[in-house]
Amino acid sequence: MDEVDEDASLALLVTSWDGSTRAYATRDGALGGAVTTARRTMHVAFDVPVLCGTFLGSHRRACVGCLDGSARVVDLTTGTTATLGAHAGPAATIAHDETHTGYVVTCGWDKTIRVWDASASASDGRCVSTTTTAGKCFASDVADGRFLCATSDGQVLAYETEDLARGGAPTVSRRSSMRFQTRAIAWNATRDGFVAASVEGRCAVEFARDDEDAARRFAFKCHRKTEDSTSGETVYPVHALAFHPTLGTFVTGGGDGYVNFWDGEARKRLAQVGRFPTSVSALAFSPSGAILAIASSYAHEDGENAAKPPRDVVYLRWVSDDEVRPKKSAAA
């Protein structure tokens, strides 16, 4: 699920394991409550599961990554598609560096990061560069001309996207501070840092500079539940992360079906939303941060043979100021 685009209308891109790529839109004036709905404007069906997607500068074109490794451009006005190229394994993540290079970056389970020119002038697309990683790429993000990814061997890598396009070295290459698999990762666009989330129900707040004060880095437990003193603690994976575009606060979505709002600087949870019908699998803010898109999708918490899995739903929700406004420090 890519970020909500709120230009003349609100646009949302949704990809799915059923092979679908869907675009939705609604007029801003139609929004007026805690939860709202959107009108589908395009549905493109592929013959393989679509794992990820991103808008290409506007809501008229998108690029998606598929289970067969292909990266494909979709015209959301006509439904036509074109293949940029392919990884040797599933294309697991995708991001568009709109502000700097204009390139699309995909990460694959073939242990490569590939940079693509998906501009309209390059109708057939081209692979600009290929960077090999030690592990499979499980999560990635792009913000302000910087690319960030987490790999299966516990590494966190960050690049200037211009350097990545030239095959340059990473600006950050370090072990994750968490012991278990990273499930999601996101840049903090307002500060030189990022947050990583794991399958163990834990998040880590980190910074790009190696010499950054270690006291500012920390990890915390989230998306966990204790029924009573005898049953112990139930740990849910953190599936999704998204930073508010201007305030530096962020949200997490977990296998417990809740969305939590966090102030990393104050080390406080600001609010909790839910419970949604099943796992929260993806999150995205609109560019102004006024609206949050929430995808609720069954993640096999009850196994492969659940009698009646909850249906997948995408919600659009107005965000209140109390949920995202940072707490004032004690000194202030």
Beta bridge partners of 76: none
Tell me: the pLDDT tens digits for 254-313?
A: 999 999 999 988 899 999 998 999 999 999 998 888 899 999 998 876 666 566 778 888
Closest CA to 194 of 252, 271, 141, 268: 141
* Same domain (yes/no): 103, 34: yes
pLDDT at residue 29 tops 80: no
Tell me: the pLDDT tens digits for 171-210?
A: 988 888 888 889 999 998 767 789 999 998 999 998 877 6
Q: Highest mean pLDDT: which of 26-30, 92-96, 172-176?
A: 92-96
Per the document, the length of the chain is 332
pLDDT at 96: 94
Average pLDDT over residues 42-48: 93
What's the mean per-residue pLDDT of the chain? Answer: 85
Tell me: the pLDDT tens digits for 136-167?
A: 999 999 998 999 999 999 899 999 999 999 99
Average pLDDT over residues 22-39: 60
pLDDT at 133: 93
Any domain includes 16: yes
Closest CA to 103 of 60, 41, 56, 50: 56
Any domain includes 168: no
Token digits for 277?
A: 């019908």
pLDDT at 226: 77
pLDDT at 4: 54
pLDDT at 151: 93
Q: Given pLDDT bands bounded at 50, 70 and 90, which one contains residue 6? A: very low
- Tell me which residue range forms the domain holding 248: 176-301+309-332
* Same domain (yes/no): 13, 108: yes
* Same domain (yes/no): 193, 125: no
DSSP 69-80: SEEEEEETTT--
* Same domain (yes/no): 181, 77: no
* Same domain (yes/no): 100, 245: no
Closest CA to 202 of 184, 215, 186: 184
* Same domain (yes/no): 196, 257: yes
Distances (CA, A) of 189 to 93, 156, 176, 240: 19, 17, 20, 17
Last residue of a domain, one of 98, 132, 166: 132
* Same domain (yes/no): 10, 123: yes
| Helices of type H across the chain | 161-165, 321-324
DSSP 206-254: EES-TTS-GGG-EEEE-SEEE-STTT-EEE--EEEEEE-TTT--EEEEE
Any domain includes 262: yes
CA within 13 Å, CB half, 13: 28
pLDDT at 164: 95
* Same domain (yes/no): 186, 104: no
Cis peptide before 27 (omega within 30 of 0): no
Last residue of a domain, one of 132, 158, 190: 132
pLDDT at residue 123 tops 60: no
Q: What domain count does the chain have?
A: 2
pLDDT at 122: 55
Percent of the chain with pLDDT over 70: 84
Any domain includes 149: no
Residues 6 or more apart from 206 whose CB is under 8 A from it? 156, 177, 193, 194, 195, 196, 217
* Same domain (yes/no): 123, 187: no
Percent of the chain with pLDDT over 90: 54
For residues 52 and 300, the model is more confident at 52
pLDDT at 57: 80
Any domain includes 154: no
pLDDT at 312: 86
Which of 107-121, 225-239, 278-292 is the least confident region?
225-239
pLDDT at 306: 60
* Same domain (yes/no): 116, 191: no
Any domain includes 193: yes
How many C-beta atoms surround the C-beta of residue 314 within 10 A? 19
Any domain includes 24: yes
Residues 6 or more apart from 261 whose CB is under 8 A from it? 249, 250, 251, 269, 270, 271, 272, 273, 323, 324
CATH of the domain at 211: 2.130.10.10
How many C-beta atoms surround the C-beta of residue 308 within 10 A? 6
Any domain includes 63: yes
Q: What phi, psi does 104 have (nearest 5°)? A: -100, 140
